[in-house]
Amino acid sequence: MAIVYDEERRIFSLHTKKTTYQMMADGYGYLLHLYYGKKLDASMEYMITCFDRGFSGNPYDAGADRGYSLDALPQEFPVLGTGDYRSTAFQVREENGCFGCDLRYAGYCIKDEKYALPGLPAAYGEGQTLEILLRDQRLGLEVTLLYGVLEECDVITRSVKVQKVAGEECGGKVYLEKVSSACLDFLHGQFDFITFYGRHAMERNLQRARISHGKQSVGSTRGASSHQYNPFVILARSETSEETGECYGASFVYSGSFSAEAEKDQYDQIRFVMGLSEEQFSYPLDKGEIFHAPEVVLSYSAEGFQELSCHFHQCVREHICRGRYRDRIRPVLVNSWEACYFDFNGEDIVRLAEQAAELGIEMVVMDDGWFGQREDDNSSLGDWEVNERKLGCTLSQLSDRVHEKGVQFGIWIEPEMVSQESRLYREHPEWALQIPGKKPVRARNQLVLDFSDSDVVQYIYDKICSVLRQGDIQYVKWDMNRSLADIYSGKTRQQGKVLYDYMKGVYSLLERLTAEFPDILWEGCAGGGGRFDLGMLYYTPQIWCSDNSDAIDRVCIQYGTSFGYPMSVMGAHVSAVPNHQTGRVTDLHTRGVVAMTGAFGYELDLGRLSEEEKEQVREQVAMYRRMAPLLQQGRYYRLSNPFEDSHGAWMVVDEDQKQALCSVVLLEKHGNMPVIYVRLQGLKEGAKYRDHATGAVYSGAALMAYGMPIPVGLGEYQSWQILFEEWEENRL
């Protein structure tokens, strides 16, 4: 059994393939955290120690026992109002303005299926659920802690359900001021807090800092998970590396504002809390009403970051992504954006399709500029009607002409936004998030539609459906190009619920559209990687990794992304040079090597390629098609740190360890450079491997123990892509 309950001790143990998570309801009814780590069959309650500590208060029930204080004990769901002055997971405000809650254990339930969350994305699949009920009698409040166990990928998920079960007799309405979905308490040990920071066009840079006394936090208050901080973090022992040491990963299955906090307390204990951002959050609950917090996915590794990443990669591929394209090889596409931006018509798209077909590219995507009066980014968002004058035909006719060239057809949308210069805004200015009497904050001259209003969501659903029914469309890129501000909805007097309800509105639209059009490949995007999270991946099996398509920057961006997300979900394209974001020039081979790290495609004007370059493109497309099963489903290894090393190196190995693709990109160039040595991983020690291109044969054990030399010649940003295949005739 994955979930075991010791009734005598009131101890719950959750077991995955390699890990154990344990907690206990103690004699006072408080739920204490006992252990999370390597799998074991033992009770860890002996780790709980109690001392009389100054200025650490005691629950009233403890009577004369001054040694019992929640200010020093490890807890599953610490709340404000119990004498615990550390970071809390839950804060409640009463209508009279008081803060304070006292949740006690009230029962449990074990179910032989993984829980789902109404209106929210969550991991799915075969598993078990533990529900632990906590109750505050005074407030008439029940909190259910949800634990999901996905045994095979060593994942435990956490979520929270809050219900007001009594009304005026218990003080009336309450306001949820903070609801975190997961808390981990560590009694001892030195830990580092690993986060992934960035900015638009340079997302998910790795940052590692020692957790010191006080609070360290990352998060987003932008209404989206953000370019600035990703909702995936790692807590690692100080000595942990790629291949050795303990580490814990936490990924928030949510695409809105979030918070992740790590605190080292006065007794050198460490607490980690992850959940919704507190900023502009104050959710009212009246009798009978229920609030569901988004899910956190947790995993532990005793074998370094590589093993931890493997857990998350498997979980994302098998338990987060859904739909027709979850396990299918994605088509190689060319996007029109960097080929022509807004300056195109139907003939240009057909010409791009013809060029794509000649090179073996399978799909053409018509990006921004096909609707309303959209000739730049200052107008027409919200007017989701095809500009047939600009295209010179209907969308159906354009789709047919593209398909006649032998390629598939896709389009770009940005459904959450509205331009002030649009018919929709002129008719419904109240549908935009903006504070009455205040000049709005604009970005790209656009505002945000109030998706907390179901009428707005229904309108956009009808409009997008109308568009998608006009042609045979196989791909949709869903974009979102600004952060939220001026949070005010005319549909409610409770503005503290708008950001959460907005995100649920986005999810409801995604759920309906993906169900209505199940054969479409949906790709998420928010100015590239501004909403790269498990919440979006639940609806879109890939996300445009970054608006920055520069190959050298992408080595770093995709490196950071790989810690929590598999290659199969990273949209990655070969773009033109000089690169449109950096001005850098890299050769076509290097751009192809880097883009093959993700869902592969092109972002350039194919008509401007030379004949030599066109032949290279044909070879790249053919190579990707051959390698796609390995790239999408293989085990990924980071072989260097591009933030510290002169090169980026990574490899992918198939399940049987018979085939491996190793990629190396030179990031720096200096005179008389030393040789680069790359140590491979994931091979069989007792096997030999043959370099597919040169025929050279190597020992798997030697390649992993000491590596192989990569000769550096003249020229910047050189790259190598080496396919190794097990040499069956000669085993060691």
Average pLDDT over residues 651-671: 96
Average pLDDT over residues 378-390: 98
Answer yes or no: do 290 and 197 share one domain: yes
Cα distance between residue 90 and residue 478, in whole Å: 34
pLDDT of residue 281: 98
pLDDT of residue 622: 98
In a domain, 679, yes or no: yes
**What would the pLDDT profile of 78-132 be if each residue is shown by its tens digit?**
999 999 999 999 999 999 999 999 999 999 999 999 999 999 999 999 999 999 9
Answer yes or no: do 654 and 629 share one domain: no
CB 558 within 8 A of CB 594: yes
Angle between helices 395-404 and 346-359 (to 10 degrees): 20
**What is the band of 711 on the pLDDT scale with cuts at 50, 70, 90?**
confident
In a domain, 450, yes or no: yes
pLDDT at 225 exceeding the cut of 70 = yes
Q: Kindly list the distances between the CA atom of residue 44 and the CA atoms of 13, 28, 35, 109, 301, in Å, as whole numbers in the listed order.
A: 10, 18, 7, 22, 19
pLDDT of residue 170: 80
Tokens of 68: 């019992």
Answer yes or no: do 168 and 264 share one domain: yes
Answer yes or no: do 304 and 342 share one domain: no
In a domain, 61, yes or no: no
In a domain, 53, yes or no: no
Average pLDDT over residues 41-64: 94
In a domain, 425, yes or no: yes
**What would the pLDDT profile of 555-598 be if each residue is shown by its tens digit?**
999 999 999 999 999 999 999 999 999 999 999 999 999 999 99
Question: Which residue has 């809050």 as its token pair?
Answer: 162
Tokens of 602: 């092109």
Cα distance between residue 141 and residue 159, in whole Å: 17
**How large is the C-alpha radius of gyration of the chain?**
27
CB 298 within 8 A of CB 155: yes
Answer yes or no: do 159 and 231 share one domain: yes
Tally of domains in the chain: 3
**Where in the sequence numbering do the catalytic residues fall?**
533, 613
**What is the band of 732 on the pLDDT scale with cuts at 50, 70, 90?**
very low
**What would the pLDDT profile of 623-659 be if each residue is shown by its tens digit?**
999 999 999 999 999 999 999 999 999 999 999 999 9
Answer yes or no: do 617 and 662 share one domain: no
Residue type, 175: Y
CATH code at 459?
3.20.20.70
Tokens of 651: 């490899």
* The last residue of a domain, from among 610, 633, 656: 633
Answer yes or no: do 183 and 260 share one domain: yes
pLDDT at 1 exceeding the cut of 80 = no
Cα distance between residue 79 and residue 359, in whole Å: 60
Rounded percentage of the chain residues whose pLDDT exceeds 70 = 99
Number of H helices, E strands in the chain: 13, 38
Answer yes or no: do 473 and 500 share one domain: yes
- Containing 511, the helix (H) or strand (E) segment is helix 498-516
pLDDT of residue 65: 93
Across the chain, mean pLDDT equals 97
Residue type, 636: Y
Tallying the residues shown for the chain, one arrives at: 732
Tell me, yes or no, if the pTM score tops 0.85: yes
Q: For residue 345, which of 393, 410, 391 has the smallest C-alpha distance?
A: 391
Q: Which domain, by its residues, includes 215?
A: 78-320
Cα distance between residue 152 and residue 94, in whole Å: 43
* The last residue of a domain, from among 603, 633, 663: 633
Answer yes or no: do 224 and 272 share one domain: yes
Q: For residue 205, which of 238, 221, 228, 234 has the smallest C-alpha distance?
A: 228
Answer yes or no: do 305 and 338 share one domain: no
**What would the pLDDT profile of 542-562 be if each residue is shown by its tens digit?**
999 999 999 999 999 999 999
**What would the pLDDT profile of 267-319 be if each residue is shown by its tens digit?**
999 999 999 999 999 999 999 999 999 999 999 999 999 999 999 999 999 99
In a domain, 73, yes or no: no
* The last residue of a domain, from among 609, 633, 657: 633
| Residue partners of 630: CB distance under 8 A and separation at least 6 | 652, 654, 659, 661
In a domain, 666, yes or no: yes
Q: Kindly list the distances between the CA atom of residue 177 and the CA atoms of 190, 261, 586, in Å, as whole numbers in the listed order.
A: 31, 16, 50
CATH code at 691?
2.60.40.1180
CATH code at 172?
2.70.98.60
Answer yes or no: do 262 and 315 share one domain: yes
In a domain, 702, yes or no: yes
CB 676 within 8 A of CB 664: yes
Expressed in angstroms, the distance from the first to the final Cα of the chain is 40
CB 101 within 8 A of CB 58: no
Answer yes or no: do 310 and 368 share one domain: no
Average pLDDT over residues 665-673: 92
pLDDT of residue 46: 97
